[in-house]
């Protein structure tokens, strides 16, 4: 058996955690630069607040319905996500056993391996998980249990959709319960079925997950992407085809990208932003004890039609290959800034930039340069000291001058709540 635990309106739940006055009241959270609505509570949905719509268009409706609006607070969300996942690991046995049985799928979702649970006890165990996570972390979750991951996603969707009747827990272990759930699920609501495939299936007269599950594997191999389509059919039939994967600890590529808080037209501002993003990526690089050989930078011009600011936009990118892989911030900032200078066009307005580090290899295995200066050890001590200071105090207390001082281009977060779980001076005060 497989279960998926999904946090309910996760970003909004995190905001409510330190604002009990917002319980049972409509809440929404905005994307970077307070652009679009990316998370809504059930009360906000009932008020007619749409998902992914621009904030400025919905502002009138939000004010009319007394909706609490927050900027994205990723420090808070990341910390609460870690607490939820650690709770799940403890419930699944703790230690290595807990890690092996929990696959973190996203910031608010995780798959659990329930092979050691008796089928008759699956529902009670799922409710125990839901109650414990909410009691220990304050975050409400929905749990779906089924023989396969695809069916577990369908069960979880049903649990979230019908919270009153299901109690946020849905188990699909019998053939009858599986059939009813599949009949009520449209093909465009199946995990792994994209928009183009959903449209194609509907044109073929296949509108429900139940109808899709009854198609022969040979048909799926021909019309649904080969082996991937066959696995999907088997999963819908209750035949496990996708196993729990080990957690990826070392990334193959590290990137830091951000939208600017205001349009950027000056080369100096653009270089400051890229230097800051490079510093952040270098910290991540050192955290997994890796070094990068390739530095890539991209910048995104702002379209003359301001409505296009909500789309990704065409980017300008370039990269350089270093002679020796490195994790030292100053050795990564220099080529990144040079790349910006090569791509920058006078008179162009930019809305976004990003830095990607690739060609990663273990930091300890880098071959030294016989003809270079023997300063690598002192540089590493310097990086460790800077990382320790910034991790303890936060807010980039120690930074390179190339990252700028005022940083007027920083991401706009005018409605951000306090980072109550990660900043001493922003802790919630109780009187």
Q: Is residue 415 part of a domain?
A: no
In angstroms, the CA 17 to CA 270 distance is: 37
Count the domains in the chain: 3
Provide the residue range defining the domain that includes 229: 76-236
CATH number at residue 185: 3.30.70
Domain end residue (candidates: 72, 94, 121): 72
End-to-end CA gap in the chain: 47
Does residue 210 contact residue 189 with C-beta atoms inside 8 Å? Answer: no
Q: Is residue 423 part of a domain?
A: no
pLDDT of 277 reads 95
Burial class (CB in 10 A: 0-12, 13-18, 19+), 347: exposed
Q: Is residue 408 part of a domain?
A: no
Q: 353 and 328, same structural domain? A: yes
Q: Is residue 47 part of a domain?
A: yes
Q: Is residue 248 part of a domain?
A: no
Q: Is residue 416 part of a domain?
A: no
Q: Is residue 429 part of a domain?
A: no
> What burial letters (b/e) apply to 268-296, b meaning 16+ CB within 10 Å?
ebbbbbbbbbbbbbbbebbeeebbbbbbb
Q: 217 and 199, same structural domain? A: yes
Q: Which residues contact 294 (CB under 8 A, 6 or more apart)?
A: 319, 320, 321, 322, 357, 358, 359
Q: 368 and 309, same structural domain? A: yes
Q: 216 and 149, same structural domain? A: yes
Q: 360 and 318, same structural domain? A: yes
Q: 205 and 59, same structural domain? A: no
CATH number at residue 374: 3.30.1490.100
Q: 86 and 23, same structural domain? A: no
pLDDT of 312 reads 53
Q: 282 and 177, same structural domain? A: no
Q: 178 and 48, same structural domain? A: no
List the chain pLDDT tens, one digit each, 431 residues: 999 999 999 999 999 999 999 999 999 999 988 989 999 999 999 999 999 999 999 999 999 999 999 999 998 999 999 999 999 999 999 888 888 899 999 999 999 999 889 999 999 999 999 999 999 999 999 999 999 999 999 999 999 998 989 999 999 999 999 999 999 999 999 998 989 999 999 999 999 999 999 999 899 999 888 999 999 999 999 999 876 665 556 788 999 998 898 889 999 999 999 999 999 999 999 999 999 999 999 999 987 554 554 455 578 999 999 988 999 999 999 999 999 999 999 999 999 999 999 999 988 766 655 555 555 556 888 888 888 888 776 667 888 899 888 777 887 888 999 988 888 788 888 76
pTM (predicted TM-score): 0.81
CATH number at residue 42: 3.40.1170.60
Q: 185 and 56, same structural domain? A: no
Q: Is residue 122 part of a domain?
A: yes
Q: 105 and 58, same structural domain? A: no
């Amino acid at each position: 058996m497989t279960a998926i635990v999904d946090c309910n309106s996760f970003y909004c739940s995190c905001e409510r955690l330190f604002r009990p006055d917002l319980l049972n009241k409509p809440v929404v959270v905005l994307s970077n630069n307070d652009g679009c609505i990316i998370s809504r509570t059930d009360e906000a949905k009932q008020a007619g607040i749409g998902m992914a719509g621009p904030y400025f268009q919905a502002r009138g409706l939000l004010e009319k319905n007394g909706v609490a609006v927050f900027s994205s607070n990723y420090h808070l969300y990341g910390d609460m996500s870690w607490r939820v996942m650690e709770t799940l690991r403890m419930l699944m046995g703790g230690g290595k056993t807990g890690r092996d049985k929990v696959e973190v799928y996203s910031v608010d979702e995780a798959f659990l391996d329930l092979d050691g649970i008796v089928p008759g006890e699956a529902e009670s165990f799922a409710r125990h998980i839901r109650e414990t996570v909410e009691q220990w972390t304050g975050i409400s979750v929905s749990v779906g249990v089924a023989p396969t991951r695809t069916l577990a996603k369908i069960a979880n969707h049903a649990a979230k959709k019908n919270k009153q009747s299901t109690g946020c827990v849905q188990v699909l272990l019998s053939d009858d319960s599986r059939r009813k759930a599949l009949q009520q699920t449209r093909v465009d609501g199946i995990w792994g079925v994209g928009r183009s495939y959903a449209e194609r299936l509907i044109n073929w007269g296949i509108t429900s997950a139940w109808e899709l599950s009854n198609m022969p594997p040979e048909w799926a191999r021909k019309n649904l992407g080969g082996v991937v389509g066959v696995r999907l059919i088997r999963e819908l039939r209750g035949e496990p085809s996708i196993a729990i994967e080990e957690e990826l600890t070392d990334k193959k590529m590290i990137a830091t990208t951000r939208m600017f808080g205001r349009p950027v037209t000056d080369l100096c501002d653009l270089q400051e932003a890229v230097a800051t993003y490079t510093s952040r990526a270098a910290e991540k690089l050192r955290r997994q004890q890796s070094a990068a050989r390739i530095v890539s930078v991209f910048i995104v011009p702002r379209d003359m039609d301001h409505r296009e600011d909500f789309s990704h936009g065409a980017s300008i990118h370039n990269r350089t290959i270093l002679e020796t892989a490195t994790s030292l911030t100053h050795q990564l900032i220099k080529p990144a800034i040079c790349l910006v200078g090569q791509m920058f066009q006078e008179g162009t307005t930019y809305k976004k930039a990003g830095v990607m580090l690739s060609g990663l290899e273990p930091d300890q295995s880098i071959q030294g340069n016989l003809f270079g200066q023997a300063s690598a050890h002192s540089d590493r001590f310097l990086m460790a000291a800077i990382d320790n200071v910034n991790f303890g105090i936060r807010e980039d207390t120690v930074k390179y001058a190339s990252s700028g001082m005022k940083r007027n281009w920083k991401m706009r977060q005018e409605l951000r709540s306090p980072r109550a779980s990660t900043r001493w001076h922003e802790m919630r005060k109780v009187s």
